[in-house]
Amino acid sequence: MLAQIQVTTGLLYGLGGLVVGVIGTIVLRKFIGVQIVTQSRRQAQDLLDKAQSEAQTLKKQAELDGLNELAKRRDTFEKETNAQRNEIKEIERRVTKREDNLDRKLDTLTTKEKYLDDLDAGVKKRETQLAGKQEELDALAVERKELLETSRQEQKQTLLRIANLSEDDAKRESLKAVERECQHEAGQLIRQITEKAEEEAKDNALKVTLQAIQRYASEHTANSTVNAIPIPSDDMKGRVIGREGRNIRAFEKATGVDVIVDDTPGVIVVSCFDPVRRAIASETMQKLLEDGRIHPTRIEEIAEQVGKEINERIVKFGKDACIEANIQGLHPKLSETMGRLYYRSSYGQNILRHSMEAAYLCQVIADELGLDGELARRCGFLHDIGKALDHEAEGGHPQIGMDFAKKFGEKEAVLNAIGGHHNDIPSTTPYTPIVMAADAISGARPGARRETLERYVKRLEQLEGIATDMKGVKDAYAIQAGREVRVIVDPESVDDTNCSYIARDIAKRVSDEMTFPGEIRITVLREMRTIDYAK
């Protein structure tokens, strides 16, 4: 029983302790929960305060960033605005400058138009005067005819009666008298008309020509094609010839030229009518001499390589010349043919440079005359294209060049300028005489061309010979490198009027019988001196 009571008491104590423990645990958990909730609220409040602080900081930073971005965009906008404003100002300046240029051109055109109107009025006035003079001449001719008829009858009767002449002799004497009278009057009329025409045309022609020459500046000498090739030593000649001449035969076969190896020290001469082949042969020989390996296979290899290089250079020379001369829309075949003129020379003047000079001069002259400068430039550039083909076709280079350019659709004005710049065909456009003038200017300027001494002396002797062949001429002297001939006539047999006839006849013979660049001036001098002595 006691044991049961003790067990029951123990159970009660255990159950009470368990209840107390549970209650304590509950109280402890509640207390801990309150502490946790309080701490969580405090942490939440701290986080909220921190978040609000960070939000304020981010807000301020965002505002600062926005202000900075706004300032940057404002600066960028102002810079772009200033740039556009400056660009607009530059455009306005250019437009203003262009307007000023147009105004000046308009003033120039107005002046030229006024000048042309004055010339037109002057021409009409001269036509009226000439018409009146023609009527006077017709009337004088009728009167002269009547007077001559009367004079002829009187002279006939007088000669037959006094001189005891036959009728045929009397006619001859009468005709001589009439011829002398008419020749004297005709000489005076020719001199008057010539002087008047020269006075009117000389100023304008001289102005245009001088302007064209002064506005163009070019080198005074031009490279000529190299024919003589220097060699390092005379021993090299044997290697060039080869065993039993096989090397020189292979070289001539590969290049199509003649090689002359003579006793001249240090030189091998290359000869060929085709300037391109001559250039290929010269460069091939130079490379062989530099390489030192000279045998038929090497010769063919170098010749083929140099031929390709020369053809590429020809195409490049043609394109560069078109660009420099500002020739647009030229057919590639014409451009390549013009490039071949780089290896062609005339009296030491490079034909390609001469064509470019003529093109520029043609444009200057055409602009001064109010014509199409671009078309004139094209005519001048292509006028000697036939010289690149004259060794391949029959005929003169003007006809060859005109036919070649016609195949590629060049205009009629260009074709006429090519074919007629040496008076081979009639001029149908004003551009042909412009090309003739530019061609003469380019060839006749000092230092442009050079002649051999023998040919130079022969030309001077021919000039003096033509002058001295004229009746009444005592002496003739070629001066200024053959650009002028001074003719001294006998004052007793030639009067002032006949001097005009002599100058004109000499000029005509020189033009017909001689070939020369530019022009030759004929000056006839007549001087009468009377000497006496007082004693």
Task: Name the pTM for this structure.
Answer: 0.46
Most confident of 241-255, 314-328, 448-462, 479-493: 314-328
Mean pLDDT of 390-416: 86
Mean pLDDT of 489-503: 84
Lowest mean per-residue pLDDT among 63-67, 224-228, 271-275, 301-305: 224-228
- Rounded to an integer, what distance in angstroms lies between the CA atom of residue 414 and that of residue 381? 10
- The residue that leads in pLDDT, 495 or 214, is 495
Q: What is the pLDDT of residue 163?
A: 56
Angle in degrees, 0-180, between the axes of helices 296-325 and 351-368, rounded to the nearest 10: 10
Could you tell me which residues are beta bridge partners of residue 154?
A: none
pLDDT tens, position by position, 323-363: 888 888 888 898 888 888 888 877 667 888 888 888 888 98
- Rounded to an integer, what distance in angstroms lies between the CA atom of residue 92 and that of residue 532? 83
Lowest mean per-residue pLDDT among 206-210, 368-372, 489-493: 206-210
Do residues 337 and 385 make contact, with C-beta atoms less than 8 angstroms apart? yes
Question: Vertex 274, ends 272 and 280: CA angle to 5°?
Answer: 80
Return the sign of the alpha-carbon dihedral for residues 228, 234, 236, 237: positive
Return the sign of the alpha-carbon dihedral for residues 187, 188, 189, 195: positive
SS3 percent helix, strand, coil of the chain, rounded to 5, is 75, 5, 20
Do residues 468 and 475 make contact, with C-beta atoms less than 8 angstroms apart? yes
Q: Which long-range contacts (CB under 8 A, 24 or more apart) does 524-528 make?
A: 524/487, 524/489, 524/499, 524/500, 525/486, 525/487, 525/488, 525/489, 526/488, 526/489, 526/491, 526/494, 526/495, 526/496, 526/499, 527/488, 527/491, 528/491, 528/492
- Rounded to an integer, what distance in angstroms lies between the CA atom of residue 435 and that of residue 421? 6
Q: What is the pLDDT of residue 285?
A: 85
pLDDT tens, position by position, 238-259: 777 788 888 888 888 888 888 8
CA 410 to chain centroid, in Å, comes to: 18
- Rounded to an integer, what distance in angstroms lies between the CA atom of residue 218 and that of residue 442? 10
